[in-house]
């Protein structure tokens, strides 16, 4: 790998965006540690985008760690595996992070088990056809680990006639407070590069690129040290939010704009999160499916912030207890980052495949400032990386004119929250947009069910 390849497009960026305070100092230097195993785990069947998984176990059945408990319900679906050795306590509706109840497999951990995963012989991924590779990734239950939880194997299913030239690994981690991807790059650089190389070679891409914001110099240096002769570039990027959005990262690194309504693969690019390629490396090297992930626990309301490796299904209450509990002035707990995450309905909801962080905020972070009328200053337009009109969306949403919002491309909004952050009138623009999009989705479902 040449030095030129390592440094190319160092000053590349995308237009618009915002610059929130990173707030990463609490956990940026904290090594990943394993959280103690809990007594009870809840595995929702629909913790990924697409069709929920279908249970293949029964109540009372004994399980070993990593055993398949639910198979994909369709192609746009993925498998679930037991995060612990134990038994199936129930298959029932359980509370989800948003307060709703959804079908889940409840597992009681065996208190006498070591809970060590037994590695399996490596899979000869080079000998697999692309269809076999896709099936393996689906069988492993791997999803996008940046928060969206999009089934990873779907991205690798490239339509006939399209070619992938570049695999882009997202190590930007632009959300404030979160450092789980950062620590993965520092502590497991070999797995990051190996996972990237597996994906690159199976898709027939020329190169792989790992994009990292330049507030992570140790991650950039560690990845560079780990590189051998692999055609992998490590690219430093200026700090900006939402740098980690797929289309923004592509623009920053390749200076390519993915048109509205198209996907990165239409431009010859596949984008995966750092955690996703680490999970791919773990599956093909040791047979470990996606049964645990790294979660950042941080925020002013946390007594002992940490980066934790957490079995999926672990109650958030147990994570917070391990971190010394919440301070007395905590007012809200967020799943994910402060820009795109959402308040949780209960401390007993589980860690999911897409849970990148658990943040505790006090009154000073959660008190809602007084909302004033829009002054038409245009700051939300300057902030929006997709060149949409957030203030118009907010006005239409308040009037419940959702169909008009659809006509002016509200569905292109990724709900990054940059508009709300930039608004001097403290209008919760992104919340209005989310409400409108939820209503449009409900309308779509009703029209197709009649």
Segment 255-263 mean pLDDT: 91
Q: Where are the domains of the chain?
A: 3-21+143-286, 38-114+291-365, 379-449
Q: How far apart are CA 81 and CA 288, in angstroms?
A: 10
The pLDDT confidence band at residue 180, using thresholds 50, 70 and 90, is very high
HSE toward the beta carbon, residue 63, CA cutoff 13 A = 32
How does pLDDT run across 195-219, given as a tens digit for each residue?
Answer: 999 999 999 999 999 999 999 999 9
Q: Is 94 annotated as a binding residue?
A: no
How does pLDDT run across 7-45, given as a tens digit for each residue?
Answer: 344 457 899 999 999 999 999 999 999 999 999 999 999
Q: Which letter does DSSP use for residue 155 in this model? A: H
Q: Is 423 annotated as a binding residue?
A: yes
- The closest alpha carbon to 210, from 252, 179, 178, belongs to 252
The predicted structure's pLDDT at residue 1: 35
Segment 168-186 mean pLDDT: 97
Note the CATH number of domain 3-21+143-286.
3.40.50.11540
Q: How far apart are CA 292 and CA 426, in angstroms?
A: 38
- Cβ 106 vs Cβ 89: under 8 Å: yes
How does pLDDT run across 220-244, given as a tens digit for each residue?
Answer: 999 999 998 889 999 999 999 999 9
Q: What is the largest CA-CA distance in the chain?
A: 63
Q: Is 413 annotated as a binding residue?
A: yes
The pLDDT confidence band at residue 449, using thresholds 50, 70 and 90, is low
Segment 417-437 mean pLDDT: 95
77 versus 366: the higher-pLDDT residue is 77
Note the CATH number of domain 38-114+291-365.
3.10.20.600
The predicted structure's pLDDT at residue 450: 61
Q: Which letter does DSSP use for residue 159 in this model? A: P
Identify the helix (H) or strand (E) that includes residue 208.
Answer: strand 207-213
How does pLDDT run across 342-360, given as a tens digit for each residue?
Answer: 999 899 999 999 999 999 9
- The closest alpha carbon to 264, from 194, 129, 364, 169, belongs to 169
Calculate the average pLDDT of the chain.
93
Q: Is 174 annotated as a binding residue?
A: no
Segment 79-95 mean pLDDT: 97
Q: Is 323 annotated as a binding residue?
A: no
Q: Is the pLDDT of residue 5 over 50?
A: no
How does pLDDT run across 368-384, given as a tens digit for each residue?
Answer: 889 999 999 999 999 99
214-217 LR contacts (CB < 8 Å, sep 24+): 214/238, 214/239, 215/22, 215/24, 215/239, 216/171, 216/173, 216/182, 216/185
The predicted structure's pLDDT at residue 7: 38
pTM over 0.95: no
Q: Pairing between strand 232-237 and 269-273?
A: unpaired
């Amino acid at each position: 790998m040449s030095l030129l390849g390592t440094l190319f497009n160092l000053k590349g960026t995308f237009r618009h965006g915002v610059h929130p305070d990173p707030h990463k100092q609490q956990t940026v230097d904290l090594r990943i540690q394993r959280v103690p195993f809990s007594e009870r785990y809840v595995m929702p069947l629909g913790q990924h985008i697409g069709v929920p998984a279908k249970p293949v176990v029964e109540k009372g059945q004994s399980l070993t760690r990593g055993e398949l408990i639910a198979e994909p319900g369709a192609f746009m679906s993925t498998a679930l595996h037991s995060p612990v050795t134990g038994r199936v306590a129930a298959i029932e509706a359980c509370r989800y992070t948003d307060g709703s109840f959804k079908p889940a497999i409840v597992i009681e951990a065996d208190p006498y088990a070591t809970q060590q995963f037994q590695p399996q012989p490596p899979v000869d991924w080079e000998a697999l056809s692309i269809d076999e590779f896709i099936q393996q990734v689906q069988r492993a239950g791997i999803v996008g680990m940046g928060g969206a939880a999009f089934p990873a194997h779907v991205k690798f299913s490239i339509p006939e006639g399209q070619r992938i030239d570049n695999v882009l690994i997202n190590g930007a981690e632009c959300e404030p407070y979160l450092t789980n991807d950062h620590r993965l790059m520092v502590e497991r650089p070999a797995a990051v590069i190996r996972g990237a190389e597996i994906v690159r070679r199976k898709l027939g891409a020329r190169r792989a690129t790992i994009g990292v914001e330049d507030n992570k110099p140790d991650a950039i240096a560690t990845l560079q040290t780990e590189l051998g002769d692999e055609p992998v570039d490590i690219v430093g990027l200026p700090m900006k939010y939402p740098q980690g959005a797929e289309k923004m990262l592509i623009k920053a690194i390749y200076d390519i704009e993915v048109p509205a309504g198209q996907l990165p693969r239409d431009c010859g690019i596949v984008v995966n999160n750092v955690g996703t390629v680490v999970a791919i490396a773990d599956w093909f090297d040791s047979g470990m499916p996606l049964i645990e992930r790294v979660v950042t626990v941080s925020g002013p309301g946390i007594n002992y912030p940490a980066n934790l490796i957490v079995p999926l299904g672990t109650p958030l209450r147990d994570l917070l207890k391990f971190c010394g509990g919440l301070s007395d002035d905590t007012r809200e707990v967020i799943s994910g980052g402060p820009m795109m995450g959402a308040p949780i309905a209960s401390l007993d909801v589980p860690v999911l495949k897409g849970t990148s962080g658990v943040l505790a905020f006090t009154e000073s972070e959660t008190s809602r400032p007084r909302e004033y009328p829009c002054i038409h200053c245009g700051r939300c337009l300057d902030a929006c990386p997709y060149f949409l009109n957030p203030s118009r969306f907010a006005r239409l949403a308040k009037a419940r004119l959702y169909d008009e919002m659809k006509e002016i491309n509200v569905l292109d909004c990724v709900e990054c929250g940059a508009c709300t952050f930039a608004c001097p009138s403290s209008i919760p623009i992104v919340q209005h947009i989310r409400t409108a999009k939820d209503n449009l989705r409900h309308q779509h479902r009703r029209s197709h069910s009649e």
